[in-house]
Amino acid sequence: MSQSSMSPRERSNEPTPLNRAPATAPRPAEPAPTAPTAPADPASPSAPPREEALAAPAPRRRSGLGRFILLVVVPAVAVVLGGMWWLSGGRYVSTDNAYVGADKSLITPQVTGPIVAVHVREGERVEAGAPLFDLDPAPYQTALQLAQGRVAAARVEFANLQASYASNEDQIRMGEEAVQLRQKDYDRKSNLVKTGAGTAADLDTSRASLLMYQQILAFTRYMQQTTTTKLGGGPGSTIDSFPDYIQAKAGLDDAERNLARTHIVAPIAGVATQVDQIELGRVAPAGQPVFAIVENRGLWVDANPKESDLTYVHAGELASVTIDTFPGREWKGTVCSIAPGTGAQFSILPAQNASGNWVKVVQRVPLRFCFDPNENSEGLRAGMSAVVSIDTGQTRTLSGLLLGPFVWLESWFVSPSNAKSAAQ
C-alpha cells in the first residue's frame, strides 16, 4: 500500500524518530556448561613441556634482584659517594661576591677657572705627569706679579731697617757723650753755687740741658729697640727671618702654586674616561671632579666571603679567580690581605644591634686577591664580576666524619661550664 492511501490513524501508529522505542542490544549467548576435563597426559602431544613449567618462577627472581639493588646497592653507593664528597670538601673556599679593582683618580682642579685647552681624548692611555687640560692663567699671573711686588717691598723695608739700626747706634753713642758732658757741666756749676761763685740761674740752665739730652738718648734707645724688633733679631739677622718678607714670600709661593695648578697633569698612569664631559670655555670650579683616570695595570680582586667561610683562611694562601667575561680562563694569585672588620663596620650607617628587634644576618669580611706577577691581566677592567676560590690546605679525615655526630650531640647536651671543666 502506498503512503498516500494510508489513513490518519495508521499514520499516527507508524514509528517515527519521536515515538520509536529505543533499540536494545542483543544479549550475549551464555556459554554452555562444559564437562570437567581430565588432567592432561604428559605423554600426549597437546600437554605443555616440563621445561616451560619449571621456567615460570623466573620473573620472581628478577624482581628480588631489583629490590636488592634499590634497597642495598644504591644506598651503599650513595653513602660512599657522600663520604668521599665530604672528605674532599672543606679545603676550598669560594665566593662569587667579588669584583675586579684598580687604582683610579678623579681629576679635580685645585683652582677655579675657565677651560681653555684639552690635551687628552676619551679612552686614551696617559702616563703620570702627562698634560690633561689647561685653565685660563691670566688672573693667576696678575696675582703672581702682585706677590712679587710685595716681596720686593719687603726687601727694601729690610734694608731701610738695617740702615736705621746703624744710624741709631751712632746717635746713641753721640747721645751718651753729650749726656756725660752735660753732667760734668751741671756738677761744676753746682759746686760754684755752693761756694758762692756761681749763680742759681746758670745752674738751672745746665740742669735743663742735661735733662734734654737724657731724654733724647732715651728716645734714641727706644727707637733702636723698635728697629731691632722689626728686623727680627738684631743686626745679625737675615732677611729670611724678617716678618714682612716671610709674609710676602708666602704670598708669592701661593701665587706661583695657583698659577702652576692651571696646568692639570695626570697624577697616575692609566686610561682617561668621561673626557667628553669637558667643554671648552666652561668654568671648572675648584674641588669638583671633571673626569677620571683608571689604571689598567696592577689590578686586584676584592672579595667578600661569609664570616663562616673564613675559619681557615689566612693572608698569603694560594687562590685562583675566574672572570665572568672570560669563561674557562683562570688566574692564579694569593690572598694579599684580610680586612680587620666586616663591611658593616665601615658603612655610613652601622647597624644598631642593641636597639629594637634583632635579626641575625651573616656578615661578610672583605679580602683582597692579588694576581701572580707572571699572570697576564690584559683585558680586565675595574668592576668586572669574578669568582674567587681560596685553597686553605685544610683536609677532613674519616675520624672526623665518624666523631662528628657525637661532637654535635655533646655541644647540645653538655653545658659549656661542664665542657670547660672536663677539658681542664
Tens digit of each residue's pLDDT (9 = 90 or more) over 299-314: 999 999 999 999 899 9
Task: Give the single-character DSSP code of 307.
Answer: G
Amino acid identity at 255: A
CATH number of 118's domain: 2.40.50.100
The interaxial angle of helices 138-195 and 200-231, nearest 10 deg, is 160
Query: Same structural domain for residues 143 and 132?
Result: no
Query: Same structural domain for residues 370 and 407?
Result: yes
Instruction: Return d(Cα 258, Cα 110) in angstroms, integer.
Output: 8
Query: Same structural domain for residues 310 and 172?
Result: no
Residue 203 has pLDDT above 90, yes or no: no
Please report whether residue 268 resides in a domain.
yes
Alpha helices in 261-394 (DSSP H): none
Q: How far is CA 307 from CA 41, 304, 316, 341, 386, in A?
A: 84, 9, 18, 10, 19
As a whole-number percent, the residues of the chain with pLDDT over 70 amount to 80
Task: Give the single-character DSSP code of 23.
Answer: P
Please report whether residue 13 resides in a domain.
no
Residue 378's closest CA among 100, 60, 113, 34?
A: 100
**Which grid coordinates are listed for 14?**
507508524
pLDDT band at 415 (very low <50, low <70, confident <90, very high): low
Residue 106 has pLDDT above 60, yes or no: yes
Residue 124's closest CA among 282, 276, 251?
A: 276
Query: Same structural domain for residues 125 and 210?
Result: no
Query: Same structural domain for residues 180 and 317?
Result: no
* Domain count for the chain: 3
The enclosing H or E element of 205 equals helix 200-231
Please report whether residue 65 resides in a domain.
no
Please report whether residue 323 resides in a domain.
yes
Radius of gyration over every alpha carbon of the chain, rounded to an integer in angstroms: 56
Query: Same structural domain for residues 320 and 403?
Result: yes
Please report whether residue 83 resides in a domain.
no
Instruction: Return d(Cα 236, Cα 424) in angstroms, integer.
Output: 78
Task: Give the single-character DSSP code of 69.
Answer: I
In terms of residue numbers, what domain contains 117?
109-136+262-288
Amino acid identity at 41: D
Please report whether residue 19 resides in a domain.
no
Of the two residues 89 and 95, the one the predictor is more confident about is: 95
CA angle, corner 216, sides to 212 and 220, nearest 5?
170
Query: Same structural domain for residues 243 and 315?
Result: no
Q: How far is CA 85 from CA 36, 82, 88, in A?
A: 67, 5, 5
Contact 235, 166 (CB under 8 A): yes
Query: Same structural domain for residues 266 and 129?
Result: yes
Summarised one tens digit per residue, pLDDT across range 363-374 is: 999 999 999 999
Q: Mean pLDDT throughout 99-112?
A: 94
Residue 417 has pLDDT above 70, yes or no: no
pLDDT band at 159 (very low <50, low <70, confident <90, very high): confident
Query: Same structural domain for residues 271 and 303?
Result: no
Query: Same structural domain for residues 173 and 114?
Result: no
Instruction: Return d(Cα 140, Cα 261) in angstroms, integer.
Output: 10
Q: Which residue is it, cell 739677622?
A: 237
Highest mean pLDDT, choosing among 153-157, 347-351, 417-421? 153-157
Query: Same structural domain for residues 236 and 308?
Result: no
Please report whether residue 34 resides in a domain.
no
Residue 298 has pLDDT above 80, yes or no: yes
Q: Tell me the DSSP string of 392-415.
A: ------HHHHHHHHHHHHHHHHS-
